[in-house]
Structure formats: structure tokens, C-alpha cells
Structure 1
Amino acid sequence: MAPAAETPFDASERRAWAGRAAAYGAGFGRLCAHTVPRLLDAAGVTAATRLLDVGTGTGTAAAAAAARGAEVTAVDAEPDMVRTATAAAPGATVRLAALPQLPFSDAAFDAVVGNFVLNHVGRPRAALAELRRVTRPGGRIALTVWAAPPAPGQALLGRAVQAAGVPRPTDIPALAPEDDFPRTAEGLAELLRTAGGLSAVECSAVSWEHRTTLEEWWRGPAAGVATIGRVVTSQGPATVERVKSHFTALAAEFTAPDGQLVLPHTALLASGRVDG
């Protein structure tokens, strides 16, 4: 099979995450870890489950699944993430690989999970078809994405960028309209049914308040982590400071009496079964 062509969105994502595993893990990684237990439950991960964790990042889901006794294989498209996840999840086999083409045989796994991985692929429908291919009949696939419109805490950094008048750089493409899907419970569930061909699909919102500090929450964007970080750092140090000033002012509405930031977030968690 010929390698799948990389979309401009995919290429942009590679640039956004290159060499940033440590910066991600220290901030946004803690946020994304919140959904891991429910994600593994939705996939039915127990002892001896042959699990694939796609887009493992710093290995949080892989480590948690290994702690349950699962036989874990994890992949990520970024070499720095693979190195970090290998150290964080010694009970897992971690490999470099990217959707929508994985180096595994058909029906190789009992279950597949992807914690926010669909947010970072250029062809979500092709990605889902590939996840179905590597899952055995009767196995489950469970995925999370960020809800849209975003919860107030999730929108904070974007509001600061907007207040500072910083445009999205032209070299950061959005997902092609024909590849996108509604980031709602109904939209994600329909994607699993149609592109993934899954049955018994369930999808629900997961809301929580992420507690962090002003310094921690700013550190990731200032280091260029994720798309928001690339926007923040796109025009040099003066722009970074201007965005930081607006971020500090806007963060006041989320600051608790103890000085911590309390940021409301909402994700969507969907799962379904692969039929034979």
C-alpha cells in the first residue's frame, strides 16, 4: 500500500509539536489527562486487553492502561513524544506512526483509544476507517475531541490573542471544510457511525474545572506549544508580551481566592463497537 499523502494540516501539526513534548506535558498534558480513565472505561480496557493508544503524546493513557494489566501498543507521529512516552509508560510498546496509515495488521487489537487525536489529523474520516481496520470484530474504539464552541476556560488563550489583535499566520492552515465535522455530541457520534462504521455508538460531554496557575498556563503558549502557541509566537517577543498582558488581565475572572486558575473545560467522549 502506498503511503497516504500528508495534507497541509498534517504538515502544520508536525511543525507545531516538533520537540515540544516536555513543554506540553508540563501544562496542556495535565489538562488532557483528565479524560483518560473514562476513555479507557469506554473502550472496555481491562487486564489482558490488546490495546492500541493512537496519538499517545506523553504516554498518559498508555501508562494508565498498562497499570490495568492491558497489553499496550502506543503510537505517535512526533519522535519527541515517542521518546517521552517510552519513558513514561515502560509497560507499553511505543512506536513512531501516524494516521491514517498504521503499521499493523487487520484486527490486531481488542480496543483502540485516541485521547484528542482527532483534533490533530487532516483526514478524520480516513483516520477512523483505519482505526476500525486494526480493531477486531467485537472490539471497541473510544475517542475524545474538544467541544465547539469551546468552554470558557478553553477559550481564554484565544480571547487573549484576539484582544491583542494577533492574526492567525497564513502558514497555519485550518482543517479543510470537506474533512471537518461538527464538534458536538451528535456530530462526533455520526462520524463514528459513518466513517468508522461502528455500532452501539455512545457520545457524551465531559466537563470539568482544570486547576492550574497563571505561570503554568502561560508557559506552553509562550513556548510555541500547539496551534495557539504558534499563533502567540508568530510575530516575535513584542507580540508575545502583548498577548501575555491581555491573558493576565482576562485570567482574573478565573482566579480563585487561593490564586489558582480554575478553568472550565468540556470535551466529547465517543465510543462504539466494531461489528464483524
Structure 2
Amino acid sequence: MTTFDEYERELWAGRAAAYDRGFARLTAYTAPLLCEAARAGAGTRLLDVGTGPGVVAREAVRRGAEVSAVDAEPGMAETAARNVPGLDVRVAVLPDLPFGDGTFDAVTGNFVINHVGDPDAALRELRRVLRPGGRLALTCWEMPGSGALGIVREAIDEVGVAWPDDIPVSPFMEYGERAAFADLVRGAGFGDADVDPVTWRHVVDPEDWWETGAMSRVGSNGVILSRQDPATVARVRTAYDAIMTRYAVDGGKVSLPAHALLAHGTR
């Protein structure tokens, strides 16, 4: 396990409920797209990795797939089990999956590949559990994060809070653009590999986004803010509120742009 993997285990411990209330509503947009790319349908044996609260797993079940799911965080696995009754969900940390070679017809992963310490090893493990001809479908954020993903970071930077030396940067950072992500997937042995850009708008109450995306310690931005004194947090909040005015819509809400990449390929 890499230093980044160890950090991720600490980062996400106990964060399942907060993630389910906030970021999961943002990432739910890509669940149908992943299932379409994986060709999930009646009888498809599908594995959803990094299932989180089970958003993609639930969509695949709705389409008739026979779904198994894994997550590295026990709380996430428990949340997925509650959200998707009867789901076969287990705790497992990539690149080590508790399944035999060629077990699945399809593998999906919604914004998980950017949370592993060795993306290439993770992809090769996903290929191992796919049958020949099986489909892979993965999403990641475009790097560096912008729009919905980057607003809290932008506010932190505006105030001048430095990135702490003990918080590692994701090894996936260099792959967060279309060509590099495609090359990574092809390099792991997937055929017909391609990457499609995905954009959408996330309409949310800015107070809710602050509470679930900043103050609930979800993600590294939340960790950084949790280390600041009240005066610094207040300054970041002022900067955040100013940034949010750019995205204001009716009803006191904001419409935040989201930018992601969807990779797909064949075993």
C-alpha cells in the first residue's frame, strides 16, 4: 500500500454519511452513462468498484444486472448495502479484489481511479476479473478540478492557505485529461479504449455545498479547512460566497459546472 493509499484510508474513514448527503448527489449524474458504456442489462454480471453509497450499483440493478460491489471504506460498504437491498457488497482495497479471474461481464467505477495509489495496477486488476470481451467503464474528474469540484479550493487559494506538506497529491493528477487517461487504459491492456468528456450542471444550495463539501471534512479541502483557526475559516467562507455569486440562479441556489471524463474499453 502506497503512502497515498494510506492517506486515502484515513481521509475517508467515517465520511460515508457526509458523502452520501453531498458529493454523491453530484456524481450520481454519471451513473446511467457508466451503465450504458458497460452495457449493463438483464443478466450482466457487473462489479462496481469504489461503490460509495451504491449509486451506480443501484442503477445497474434497476437495469437487471447481477451486481457485486466493493469499497475500501467499511462505512461506504454499509451505506451501499442499505441503499441497495440485497446487494453483494464487500470491503476491498484496489488493486486487490476478492474475485477470481474472468468473473464479470462488466466493471464500473465512478470517480474511484483518481483515489488509488497505483492507477495502472488498479486497471490491470480490473482487467483480470473481467471475462474476455468484458466491458470496462470508469469516470474521473478532469484535472485540475474546476467548477463544482474546485470552488472550495479556489476560495482556500484566494485566502492564501498553503497546501500542507503531509497531504499527498493524487498520483492520478497526470492522467486527468482525455489523451493521458486513454493511454493509461490502453496501456493496461484494454482494447477499443476511448475517453469521452462529460459536462453537466449541479444545482445546489450554496450553504449545503459549504457544509457537505467543506465543513464535513470530505476530501482534502475539508481536511485543510479543519486545520484552520476560526478567523481563517471565516475568510475562506467570505471568498467562497463571493465566488458562488457567479453561479447564482433563481431560488437562492447555484448552478455549478461539472467536468469529467468517461473511459471505456474491452478486455
Alignment TM-score, normalising by the size of structure 1? 0.93
Alignment partners' CA distance in 2, 1:180 and 1:31: 20
Moved more, 142-151 or 16-25: 142-151
Q: Would you say 1:101 and 2:100 are equivalent positions?
A: no
Q: How many residues of Structure 1 are paired with residues of Structure 2 in the alignment?
A: 266
Secondary structure at the aligned position of 1:181 is classed as: helix
Shift of 1:180: 5.2
Alignment partners' CA distance in 2, 1:182 and 1:21: 26
Which structure has the highest helix share of the two? 2
Q: Is the CA contact 1:208–1:265 (under 8 Å) kept in the aligned structure 2?
A: yes
Shift of 1:246: 1.2
Alignment partners' CA distance in 1, 2:191 and 2:228: 47
Q: Percent identity?
A: 48
Deviations, residues 108-167 of structure 1 (Å, cap 9, x unaligned): 111000001011101000000000000000100100000124343332111101012111
Q: Is the CA contact 1:72–1:91 (under 8 Å) kept in the aligned structure 2?
A: no
Q: 1:7 aligns with which of 2, 24, 43?
A: 2
Moved more, 106-115 or 180-189: 180-189
**Other-structure match for 1:74:** 69
Q: 1:161 aligns with which of 153, 156, 159?
A: 156
Q: Is the CA contact 1:51–1:73 (under 8 Å) kept in the aligned structure 2?
A: yes
Structure 2 spans left out of the alignment, 5+ residues: none
Q: Would you say 1:46 and 2:41 are equivalent positions?
A: yes
Q: Is the CA contact 2:144–2:173 (under 8 Å) kept in the aligned structure 1?
A: no
Moved more, 115-124 or 142-151: 142-151
Secondary structure at the aligned position of 1:63 is classed as: helix
1:77-156 correspondence runs (5 A): 77-156=72-151
**Other-structure match for 2:205:** 213
Q: Would you say 1:17 and 2:9 are equivalent positions?
A: no
Q: Is the CA contact 2:114–2:170 (under 8 Å) kept in the aligned structure 1?
A: no
- Over the aligned positions, Cα root-mean-square deviation in angstroms equals 1.3
Moved more, 33-42 or 240-249: 240-249
**Other-structure match for 2:191:** 199
Q: Would you say 1:29 and 2:24 are equivalent positions?
A: yes
Alignment partners' CA distance in 2, 1:238 and 1:131: 46
Alignment partners' CA distance in 2, 1:255 and 1:194: 42
**Other-structure match for 1:61:** 56
